[in-house]
Amino acid sequence: MRLRNARSHRLSPLLLSLVLLIACGGGAPATSTVPPAAPSAAAAATGTVAPAATAARASSAAASGQATPGTPTSVPLAPSVTVATSAGTPKRGGTVVIAISADPGAMNPAITTAGGTHNVTDQIFNGLVGLDEQLNPVPELAASWEIGEGGKVYTFKLVPNVKWHDGQPFTSADVKFTFEQALLKFHSRTKAALESVLAGIETPDPLTVVFRFKQPYGPLLQRLDVVEASIIPKHIYEGKAVDTDPANLKPIGTGPFRFVEYVKGDHVNLERNAAYFRPDRPYFDKAIYRIIPNATTATLALEQGEVDYLGSVQGSDLDRLRANKSVTLVQGFGGSGGSVCQDVLIPNLTRTPFDKLAVRQAFYQAIDRQFLLSNVYFGQGGVATGPISRQMAWAYTDKVRDYPFDQAAANRALDAAGLPRGADGNRFTITFTHAASFAKLGEALRDQLKGAGIKLELETLEVNAANDKVFVKKAFDLGVASYCNGSDPEIGVRRVYVSTNIGPVLFSNGAGYRNPEVDRLLDAAAASADRAERARLYAQMQQILTEDVPYFWLIDSRGYRAYRATYQGFRTSGGNILEAAWTTGAGR
């Protein structure tokens, strides 16, 4: 916070592209139902390798948390992606051009949940387990798995003969190294959830990995995909600082595409991995990511055929694209940063005035979230009521304290808090640090908060710089992020609120919130094998958090993607969107 009369920044208007950690929206209408929750520990009672005939049943049981003795809890090697509806037979060849709004930065997906990074790296790397469009676990680098000791031991058998892009063999040592030296140190969602419950990782042979937990842990399979746990090469990073090593700018993975070139501010080029362990994939010869910061420019490039795919679509362009027969428009709940996402304002609880509960409650009530949904997000989602998205129906409750838009009440509360208006009409000044993609949101917030005597100055930065200032340097008053809940609160909710996840980690507990009771409820829910009991615990957590208001929850997001109609097969819920995609036209 700064004193009244502080200089205000002028901001040129930029149209907001709905971003969920840059691109966390989109999906086919066929996949717009609420995704299933992650398996509870009950699903891990026994484990046997499933024959091919029962693979689908095993996957469904594992995802729903309803596996029983005799129900397989692992599946054989199979394609890991469900794709957008397409007609015809896929054919090889051609180039796809994808528009992205910002530089990916360091392309090590094991150290960040940033959608801007994963947008590119999810095509270069793999996870142990994939997730289909309904978020059910399916094989990827792990050909099969067994679950034992009531959900405390997970044994994975790896796909043989997988090679890194430099020709070195992929082994269980890479998995162990990735978790111990990267994911558990730098990946906010993995670190928050596993560091206190994972007893150890064993590698009895090059093709076997064993995860041992201190207690039953049901959601593991949902958190092993390329978004949550990309596996990185030990032989490249061993003995180095994985978060800063130059190898992060020339990534080497096992995935369907190989890195070729990165020109900052312009493009990232990938090429087909001819040695991919799924020999019929991918279909494209090349993938080019064009960095186009302005959403309007990106949409025009799509319409003119200069790019083929947009990971997010600004609301003001939806009607025009719907009427364009050369463009396919799809909606969904996920994206490159994760699934079931919320756009959330992050107050710095270590600074005045957000260290005062009464100020946070008044601030929240001064925001008209319905107006934001209608006029900034163009109806792409719903008004958020708390820390769990209503799209995760089993864990969500609406029985929480509500903060309807009421500026008269906000003004009274701020007066009572000892923050009167000054001669200029302002009570205090807050700097809103945000990426350019949130510029329209910032302008709307600035206009709304004037009514409560709050002056909001807009600090617009490149996305990686904004994230660094908020999450790493903690040099901010108010930030913003699209926090993705994932398929289970243990995956994407815990990391935002648990006190052990306060630190210089991207997309962690950025507000610096501490509440021992919230920590206890999160721990108890993670250890429970009963979904009804877990829902009860998460309801208690939501009730506490909406009283404390450590964050300002704005929108439960559901965004759109758009691509040229001559392209088919894109995965619509995020992750590896290109592996099964192809073009029906002449190509580039």
Same structural domain, 192 and 159: yes
**Contact call for residues 561 and 321 (beta carbons, < 8 A):** no
Boundary of a domain, candidates 201, 220, 241: 241
Q: Is residue 199 part of a domain?
A: yes
Residue 342: which of 385, 300, 313 has the closest Cα?
385
Specify the DSSP element, H or E, that contains 584.
Answer: none
Same structural domain, 254 and 210: no
The pLDDT of residue 332 is 67
Q: Is 543 exposed, middle or buried (0-12, 13-18, 19+ CB in 10 A)?
A: middle
Show the tokens assigned to 261: 């070139």
Residue 312 to residues 48, 93, 141, 210, 316, Cα–Cα distance (Å): 41, 25, 29, 38, 12
Specify the residue for token string 């959403």.
295
Same structural domain, 389 and 538: yes
Q: Is the pLDDT of residue 363 over 80?
A: yes
Same structural domain, 342 and 376: yes
How far is 90 from 236, CA to CA, in rounded Å?
A: 35
Same structural domain, 236 and 360: no
Note the pLDDT tens digit of each residue in 407-438. 999 999 999 999 999 999 999 999 999 999 89
- Please, what is the angle between helix 516-527 and helix 531-548, to 10°? 160
Question: How long is the chain?
Answer: 588
| CATH number for the domain that contains residue 433 | 3.10.105.10
| CATH number for the domain that contains residue 271 | 3.40.190.10
Beta bridge partners of 97: 288
Same structural domain, 549 and 566: no
Q: What is the identity of the amino acid at 517?
A: E
How far is 428 from 128, CA to CA, in rounded Å?
A: 49
**Contact call for residues 211 and 201 (beta carbons, < 8 A):** yes
**Contact call for residues 437 and 557 (beta carbons, < 8 A):** no
Half-sphere exposure at residue 396, Cβ-oriented, CA atoms within 13 angstroms? 19
Q: What angle do CA 524, 529, 531 make, to 5 degrees?
A: 90
Reduced to 3 states, what is the DSSP secondary structure of residue 14? coil
Beta bridge partners of 431: 457
Query: For the chain, give me the number of helices (H) and strands (E)?
Result: 17, 23
Q: What is the identity of the amino acid at 250?
A: K
The pLDDT of residue 575 is 80
The pLDDT of residue 584 is 87
Residue 398 neighbours by CB distance under 10 Å: 10
* CA 347 to chain CA centroid, nearest Å: 20
Residue 128 to residues 27, 61, 138, Cα–Cα distance (Å): 23, 19, 9
Show the tokens assigned to 133: 């469009």
Which residues span the domain enclosing 445?
338-559
How many distinct structural domains can be found in the chain?
3
**Contact call for residues 217 and 39 (beta carbons, < 8 A):** no
Q: Are strands 95-100 and 286-291 parallel, antiparallel or unpaired?
A: parallel
Same structural domain, 163 and 229: yes
Q: Is residue 14 part of a domain?
A: no
Same structural domain, 499 and 489: yes
Model confidence, pTM: 0.70
The pLDDT of residue 312 is 87
Same structural domain, 379 and 525: yes
Residue 511 neighbours by CB distance under 10 Å: 25
Q: Is the pLDDT of residue 146 over 60?
A: yes
Same structural domain, 157 and 174: yes
Q: Is residue 86 part of a domain?
A: yes
- What would the mean pLDDT of 77-83 be, rounded to a whole number? 37
How far is 185 from 294, CA to CA, in rounded Å?
A: 34
Note the pLDDT tens digit of each residue in 371-414. 999 999 988 889 999 999 998 888 999 999 999 999 999 999 99
How far is 510 from 496, CA to CA, in rounded Å?
A: 7
Q: Is residue 303 part of a domain?
A: yes
Any residues with CB less than 8 A from the CB of 89 and at least 6 apart, and which? Answer: none
Reduced to 3 states, what is the DSSP secondary structure of residue 496? helix
| CATH number for the domain that contains residue 114 | 3.90.76.10
Lowest-confidence region among 364-368, 480-484, 531-535, 573-577: 573-577
Same structural domain, 421 and 321: no
How far is 288 from 294, CA to CA, in rounded Å?
A: 18
Q: What is the identity of the amino acid at 22?
A: I
**pLDDT higher for 76 or 108?**
108
The pLDDT of residue 13 is 31
Note the pLDDT tens digit of each residue in 43-67. 333 343 433 323 333 333 333 333 3
Peptide bond into 104 cis (omega under 30): no
